[in-house]
Amino acid sequence: MMPLRLFAGFLIALAGALLAVHLDLPLPWMLGPLLATAATRIRGMQTVCPAPLRNAGQWVIGTSLGLYFTPQVVGHVVDHAPAIVAGMVFPVLLCGLGAILMQRFAKVDFQTAWFSCAIGGASEMTTLAERHGANLERVATAHSVRILLVVMIVPFLFQAWGVAGLDPSLPGTARVDPPGLFLLVALTCASAFLFAWRKLPAPWILGPLAVAMGLTTQDVSLSALPAVVTAGGQLLIGWSLGDRYRPGFFRGAPSLVLTAALYTVLSLLLAAGFACLLVLFTDVPLPTLILGTTPGGIAEMAITAKVLQLGVPVVTAFHVTRMVFVVLVTGPLYRLVSRKKSAEKP
């Protein structure tokens, strides 16, 4: 039964990708599988996307991003370190705002509200939520709503805006060399396993990213990734995102879903406003800054930047540093705020 459910899920994801390509949708190899899989899962189809396939998709994204960090690009990113640091702090402020909205409109406890609105990796936030006694199902639901809306809204807005190619970046090498590719795969996979073994966040993105970036910054060009691998990685990411949804997902906790949607839209607007402020202090184009501050995941926003040719290294730096920072400070900040709220109670 499992192989059949797996094969059916792959066919649905592939059909969604091909239809999205035919309809000229933005990010067709990610959005098509996501929408097709989510729609069929919500309708009750028992397809499946196993975790190793999701990891494979993240490996593709992490490795391909690392290949952009040539020495010249690293210097460019370092020049914009103040803006990237500001982008690390901004999501923490959004989390505080979101927690207030969640408590007031979704009627959830403070810990559930806090971890539902922290803009880190969904799996990392769920793990932190479990440690602090939050409602895991509601935290996971809120993050699923956020990711779905960001992935659906942002690419379409950027396509309508017509800014694709405004801030292009080229990877360190465009040549596919089979022996070099084999070595690149071996090194990046080993790094992913090491990151997972050390329980570091997003190991299948950050591990390969660290190795590929380390090689590229030293002008070591083993190989590019074949185009079919890049498209396949996007398909696996979209498929795995769509696989999170189940029948009754949007009916299970309507006030939570609506509040999470409101928070996501508000976060997108505030992020755009924050990017407009940052553009006054840096020469990074506004579309790149908006992508860098958008409250989405590393993989989804990096794919968007790559496909639209909008400052891939800068967007990656924004989201990697933001995610690591949020993962590190969300727990301690929760305990600090929680103690303060307890002290204020009569």
| Statement: residue 264 has pLDDT above 70 | yes
| Residue closest to 30 by CA, chosen among 16, 43, 45, 40 | 16
pLDDT digits (tens, 9 = 90+) for 223-241: 999 999 999 999 999 999 9
Residues 6+ apart with CB under 8 A from 319: 292, 296, 297, 298, 301, 302
CB 299 within 8 A of CB 61: yes
Q: Is 170 left (phi over 0), alpha (psi -120 to 50) or beta?
A: beta
- What is the DSSP-derived secondary structure letter of residue 243? T
Buried b (16+ CB within 10 A) or exposed e, 134-172: bbeebbbbbbbbbbbbbbeebbeebbeeebeebbebebb
pLDDT digits (tens, 9 = 90+) for 6-26: 999 999 999 999 999 999 999
Backbone φ and ψ for 80, nearest 5 degrees, come out as: -110, 25
| Terminal C-alpha separation, the chain | 58
Dihedral sign computed on CA atoms, order 24, 27, 29, 30: negative
| Statement: residue 345 has pLDDT above 70 | no
Domains in the chain: boundaries? 54-344
| Residue closest to 250 by CA, chosen among 41, 5, 104 | 41
Per-residue pLDDT at 120: 83
Chain-centre distance of CA 64, in angstroms?
15
Average model confidence (pLDDT) for the chain? 93
pLDDT digits (tens, 9 = 90+) for 175-227: 999 999 999 999 999 999 999 999 888 999 999 999 999 999 999 999 999 99
